């Protein structure tokens, strides 16, 4: 009977360790991903300025800030 108990204990501990490792990995990956997005946003003011210029418009700083605000609020 003690062998069955030992195997059950090993399986239980393995599951707990596995779930803990998965949770830590998820948290670290999420933090690294958020850091990358902060440092390298998908679109920045320079890109918005270039878009306006391609459409044949000279954007004001207020227009660029408004577009950035609308994109941040859309997240």
Region 43-53: mean pLDDT is 92
pTM, 2 dp: 0.57
Region 58-64: mean pLDDT is 93
Look at residues 65, 21, 23 and name the one whose alpha carbon lies nearest to residue 44. 65
The Cα 71–Cα 74 span in angstroms is 5
pLDDT over 90 at 75, yes or no = no
What is the phi-psi region of residue 56: left when phi exceeds 0, alpha when psi lies from -120 to 50, beta otherwise? left
pLDDT over 60 at 57, yes or no = yes
């Amino acid at each position: 009977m003690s062998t069955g108990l030992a195997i059950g204990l090993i399986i239980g501990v393995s599951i707990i360790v596995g779930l803990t490792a998965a949770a830590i990995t998820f948290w670290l990956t999420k933090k690294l991903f958020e850091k990358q997005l902060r440092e390298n946003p998908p679109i920045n003011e320079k890109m918005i300025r270039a878009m306006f210029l391609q459409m044949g418009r000279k954007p004001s700083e207020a227009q660029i800030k408004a577009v950035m605000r609308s994109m941040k609020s859309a997240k």
